[in-house]
Amino acid sequence: MMSSFLAYPLAELPFVFVVLMISFALHEFAHAYFADQFGDPTARSMGRLTLNPRVHIDWVGMIFFLIIGIGWAKPILVNRSYFRKPRLMSIIVSFAGPFSNLLLGFVSLLIFHALLQLQALDSISPGGREAVELFSRNMIELNIFLFILNLIPFPPLDGYRILEEVLPRRAAAKLKAHEQWLFYAILLMFFIPPIRSVTLGPIFALKWPIFNWFDALVRAIFGAL
């Protein structure tokens, strides 16, 4: 009965939890790392320049993700006034988080295929093999999903921060004036069940073309070896 209130099957929750811990930590670290490299000491001074998940996890956001499939980590504060090229460097900092998830998804798929090629899973118990497969599947699919999700151009997602920098200044100022309403819109999209069912579904579906392309690429890599 309890599993009907969760976004994932009860048996998968431990795997999803660990995957999110790793994925959120890498995402926020990527933001912090590039901001620090571009001269902004804010993240470093706040102790955020680390891969330690405890520093980055927002437990309310984590619980929301496990229950409804959408959540958040603690955002990295960025002061773009430190940047030599504020617009370009802000775009890179914002994109670094989602890209880190995409890269993690690809590397996870690469490792899983390597395990299959080396027949490393054949020597472990059926339960152990199932655990590896569940962990790998969630690591791959959730990170591709996080990449897509975070590039949606609504506040407070990374895609919105990128859009702010790409738009002409006048258009960006007009967008900024409506930021509050855009934020309310994404709350409706993701947290009101009838609306969520028609918004999250298409977003989840977008991960499959990326997964299929990655899978074909990895198979080509191993086929060439």
4, pLDDT greater than 80: no
Tally the C-alpha atoms within 13 A of residue 208's C-alpha that lie toward its C-beta. 5
2, pLDDT greater than 50: no
Compute the mean pLDDT over every residue in the chain, rounded to the nearest whole number.
Answer: 91
For the chain, the straight-line distance linking the first and the last C-alpha, in angstroms and rounded, comes to 48
Quote the percentage of the chain above a pLDDT of 70. 97
- Burial classification of residue 162, based on how many CB atoms lie within 10 Å of its CB (0-12 exposed, 13-18 middle, 19 or more buried): buried
Instruction: Give the model's confidence band at 5: pLDDT under 50 very low, under 70 low, under 90 confident, else very high.
Output: low
Q: Specify whether the CB–CB gap between 183 and 156 falls below 8 A.
A: yes
What would the pLDDT profile of 158-206 be if each residue is shown by its tens digit? Answer: 999 999 999 988 888 888 887 888 888 877 777 777 777 777 778 778 8
Quote the percentage of the chain above a pLDDT of 90. 68
Positions annotated as catalytic residues are 28
